[in-house]
Structure 1
Amino acid sequence: MLLDAKFTIGQRFKHIRIEKGVSQAQLVDGICSIAVVSQIECDRKYPSAELWGKLADKLGVPLRELIGMQEKQMEVSFQIDMVRVYIDKADHTHALELIDELEQRADLLEHQRIELLICRAECYRTARVFEKVVELLVPFLQNQQIRQNVEDVVLCDTYNKLGNAHYWLNDFEKAYFVFNSLDPDDVHFKISNCRCWNTLGNRG
């Protein structure tokens, strides 16, 4: 479905809803209120990326079709949230496309660049391109040993992604090394015990 690029997000959303034969009441069931949908259609409210994802699912259309290219005109933080929604929906093509575009922006803050790098790694992980995960995260984590400018919970998640990538590449020595580098007594460092034990078993 192609809609005029001059359509606002609200107009596009309303057009698709009507074309699909879905009433506002049917659409909002279990998602949000009719008032919220009315505000969206009148361009008086812009929902979160997560809510856009739920609305797209309910209408049975791809997320990109629902909001069009207007996502690129929104705040960076919203666009990063959109990347995460694309990844959750296994829409790796649009996730990587948006990451590429955002990484070219000169006004990105450092923490946003880190978020995008981790999103890219997650995109490759869910697409099972584990070699790319390793290529991204090894230098990043080496750099973090010096800079230490990432929160523990994010660092833990990143180590887990790298350990899992090594595991699925059957590189059990490296997987064990990564998992073993985490502090099991720290509440942030909750790793996959099952996979860790499997790794230990494969080492033996």
Structure 2
Amino acid sequence: METLGRKLRALRKQRGLTQLQLASGVSTPSMISQIETDRSTPSQQLLAQLAHRLGVELSYFETEFIEKSDELQCYRSAKEHMEAGKYREAIDLFQSLSWPLAPQFRPDALYMELATCYFQLQDYERAANMYESLIELGCNRSDISIVVRGYYHGALARRKLGQDDVATTYLERAREIIRTHVEFYMPISMKIGLSLARLHLQSSRFAKAKEIYLELLELTHKHSNRVDFATIYHGLACASTYLGEFEDALVYCDRAVDEHENSRNFGNAMRCRINHGLILRLANRYDEAYEYLQELRSQMNPHDDLLRTALHHELAQLCLSLERFDEGIDHTETALASKRLDIRAEIGLRTLRIQLFSRLQDFVNAHAELDRLEGCCKDDPTRLPRGYASMKCDILHQIGAADELIEFCQMQAGQALTTGEQYGREMAPLSFWIFPRQ
């Protein structure tokens, strides 16, 4: 494919000129080099001066100049549409570029830009496919940075598709590439580790998550900043909690609070303080946890619905353990009134209310909450909590709904025989907000 740069270079060599001689008085050798390798497009004025020095008319370069200018303008227009949030228009322009691409365009950049547009349009399948192309390109070129970026962004797309196992595999491959090239460090390395550790936390692989966080802690001393320290300590506190290492968890949790506050990230600092109370509860230090969380109420930002929900949910959990059932119900009502109630939080709160009403022997209200819980999960029954079936059987028995109980038991038996389906995934505990953000 004849390009403007190749044509200029061939003519310069034919005339026996060096880049320095051609550039003298009109440009620089560096600019001539960029033009000849199609990494830069000259202005029409500069091209006319170069043509004159080479002893040809400007029209000698006209066809290639117009083609290159048109392609470049198309690419620039696509970038402008992308930056303006007009992703569909940007995709159409990117795809209109001639293939194979002209030398001034980098295929890896184009794949990344197309993938970003698809991702923003929530077309995660196409985004994932573009990231696959990016990985293949990087492998063919033996370019580690392209491969690692492809795996990381591909993992984000796979997570959006609900393919967490694939996302985990991608992140592990990216992490292994970086670990086997100790001389090679990328800023994205920290993001890869944090995302992978977060996935392990969500899937209850707490020992693996802790191992990664400890490695990242060492890495931050060399390359990163205080925000990363805060996130890592937050993750270490969560992993240690569910490994039963409560004293370590409390130390990590308090370190996370300090780091978040030093970064003036007061919202995440409060998340970690709520976690401190949760750790005390899981360590069976109920009175200490209750007193600690009650003191936090006065420090809570009244406009932060999410954290208020978290605090009242955790207080309700404590009230169940302390047998303060009526107070626990009050806390769940406050939490359910939140304007930012996540479906996972509502499922947790409905489950907790069933337990509280059952302990009060108020099985009518427990049954009503059971109906609401099932309503939350009607589109995805796997969201139902573990122990749902036995909880429902007990409530139906208590209210004397014998026919409904028999029908439900028959349905459960049928599912077990035909599909082996069970309610409740093997996941981390219900207090979803305790985990650090990625």
Superposition TM-score tier, normalisation by shorter sequence: 0.5 to 0.7
Larger helix fraction of residues: 2
Residue 92 to residue 170, structure 1, CA distance change in 2 (3 Å): same
CA RMSD of aligned residues (A): 3.4
Q: Distance in 1 between matches of 2:143 and 2:223?
A: 28
Q: Residues 108, 46 of structure 1: CA spacing in aligned structure 2 closer, same or farther, 3 A cutoff?
A: farther
Paired position in structure 2 for 1:188: 224
Equivalent residue in structure 2 for 1:129, among 154, 163, 181: 163
Distance 1:139 1:98 in 2: 18
CA 1:52–1:146: 2 relative to 1, 3 Å:
same
Does the 8 Å contact 1:166/1:172 carry over to 2?
yes
Aligned residues between the structures:
162
Query: Which residue number in structure 2 is paired with residue 94 of structure 1?
Result: 126
Q: 1:64 to 1:118 in 2, by over 3 A?
A: same
Aligned with residue 201 of structure 1, among 241, 266, 274: 241
Alignment equivalent of 1:110, drawn from 141, 144, 155: 144
Q: 1:101 to 1:143 in 2, by over 3 A?
A: closer
Checking the alignment, whether the CA contact within 8 Å between 2:124 and 2:161 is kept in structure 1 is: yes
**TM-score, structure 1 as length reference:** 0.61
Q: Is the 8 A contact 2:91 2:114 kept in 1?
A: no
**1:150 and 1:69 mapped to 2: Cα distance?**
33
Shift of 1:89: 4.2
CA distance in 2 between counterparts of 1:201 and 1:159 reads: 20
Moved more, 61-70 or 85-94: 61-70
One-letter code of the match for 2:165?
E
Query: Counterpart in 2 of 1:173?
Result: 207
Q: In 2, Cα distance between the equivalents of 1:137 and 1:180?
A: 17
User: Which position in structure 1 is the counterpart of 2:95?
Assistant: 69
Quote the offset at 1:42 in angstroms: 9.9
Contact 2:132 2:154 in 1 (8 A): no
**CA offset digits 1:58-92 (Å, max 9, x no partner):** xxx73576436336745322322332343344321
One-letter code of the match for 1:133? A
State the partner residue of 2:268: none
Matched ranges for 1:15-34 at <5 A: none
SS in 2 for 1:97: helix
Which secondary structure state, in structure 2, belongs to the residue aligned with residue 47 of structure 1? helix
What amino acid is aligned across from residue 106 of structure 2 in structure 1?
Answer: E
CA gap of 1:195–1:127, structure 2 versus 1, over 3 A, is farther
CA distance in 1, matches of 2:181, 2:91: 40
1:33-72 CA deviation, whole Å, 9 max, x = no partner? Answer: xxxxxxxx99735338764334454xxx735764363367
TM-score, scaled to structure 2:
0.32
Deviations 1:140-179, CA, capped at 9 Å, x for gaps: 3234323225425221111111101111212122111111
Change in CA separation of 1:102 and 1:42 when aligned onto 2, cut-off 3 Å: closer
Corresponding residue number in structure 1 for 2:176: 142
Work out the percentage of aligned pairs sharing the same amino acid: 11
- Which residue does 1:36 correspond to in 2? none
CA distance in 2 between partners of 1:146 and 1:48 (Å):
40
SS where residue 122 of structure 2 aligns? Answer: coil
Partner of 1:78: 110
Verify: 1:47 aligned to 2:76, yes or no.
yes
Tell which structure's C-alpha radius of gyration is larger.
Answer: 2
**2:172 & 2:133 partners in 1: Cα distance?**
23
CA shift in 2, pair 1:102/1:47, >3 Å? same
Structure 2 gap ranges (5+): 1-69, 245-438
User: What SS does structure 2 have at the residue aligned with 1:90?
Assistant: coil
